Amino acid sequence: MLTWLVRYKTGKEFPNIPHKFTYEHIDRKELDAFVIINSDKDLPVFTVHFDDPRKKLIYRRRTEMPSAARPFHVVCHIIGWHMNVKGESIQNINYVYETIGRKNKKGEKEDFHWIESAGKWDKDRNTWFYSPIMRAYEK
């Protein structure tokens, strides 16, 4: 299963701790990197670096519920940034997908991950690429 941690400019890392260190607790001024990690293997899957103070973090865990026909969740971790450059909003949004509870061709449970990287929100390019409802601390 995928989750996230943040690395601050001090080098210290802080993993998501349910209800104690959550997305809204991230100190955005101290943010150096946001990392999607595989919690089962304790390995990084995707890292977004905050190497420009104008970059503002965006993260969502977008879930498509399972059904009788597709009995596993499809989750998309939407991770990226937006910044204002001379009045223009520049965005880099990345989509880290995972399946949860999927079975492979042998009938064994095996989850899958894949990553897509894009610019601005563009649901015409991909139906997952639509904007979340922005929170005050993301603007």
> For residue 45, which phi and psi values (nearest 5 degrees)?
-110, -35
Q: Using CB under 8 A, which of 11, 18, 87, 107 touches another protein?
A: 18
Q: Measured from the CB atom, is 10 or 123 closer to another protein?
A: 123
136 touching another protein, by CB under 8 A: no
Residue 77's Cβ-count burial label (10 Å; 0-12, 13-18, 19+) is buried
* Beta carbon of residue 59, minimum distance to another protein (angstroms, whole number): 7
CA diameter of the chain: 54
The token duo for 86 is 């001379």
> For residue 23, which phi and psi values (nearest 5 degrees)?
-55, -40
Q: Using CB under 8 A, which of 14, 32, 61, 116 touches another protein?
A: 61
Per CB under 8 A, residues contacting another protein are 1, 3, 16, 18-19, 22-24, 59-71, 78, 123-124, 127, 132-133, 135
